Amino acid sequence: MTVHVLILCTHNSARSVLSEGMLNHLAKRLGRDVRAHSAGSAPSGRLNPFAIEALNNAGIETAAYRSKSWDEFTGPEAPPLSIVITVCDSAAAEQCPVFFAGQGQPVKVHWGYADPSNAEGGDEGKRRAFELTRQAIGYRMLQLLLLPLESLSKPELLAALNAIAKS
């Protein structure tokens, strides 16, 4: 049975897109039946070009990606979510979305990342920040994929995801 993971951020243009790309890419490489989705509470309607560039440079196909609302994951046709991860940086005073699922409560965890689009140093500074964020996200997603997702209880899964957040 596929484990569906929803990654949320405010605008669904950078960090959540990097997370979706990395989790799907790593799951496929490891042969894990995990499917990542991303969405935002106030989607910008566009993907940050530096996020797309960082994913493409890592060999990840992004043509099907788009900025979308979390509303797409609340209806009866939405995939049954096992995990919801918020990736906005609350320290930067962003409004971080709260998710209420209609199909049983998924395990919810916060893995905050600073917004790489605010990096200094012009385009090169932003490129560097997006690549470093992609790598940091990839490290956590790899840890998630190494968990025995099918056999963990919800409290065990939450504890494991919170431990990854501290790594």
List active site positions. Answer: 9, 88, 96
Torsion angle in degrees (nearest 10) through CA of 88, 41, 101, 29: -50
| Cα-trace Rg, the chain | 15
Residue 87's closest CA among 39, 135, 122, 33? 39
Contact between 144 and 28 (Cβ < 8 Å): no
Tokens of 161: 């995801």
Helical axes 122-145 vs 49-57, angle rounded to 10°: 60
What letter does residue 106 receive in the DSSP assignment? P
**Checking DSSP bridges between strand 107-110 and strand 81-86, what pairing results, if any?**
parallel
Ramachandran region, residue 31 (left: φ > 0; alpha: ψ -120 to 50; beta: rest): left
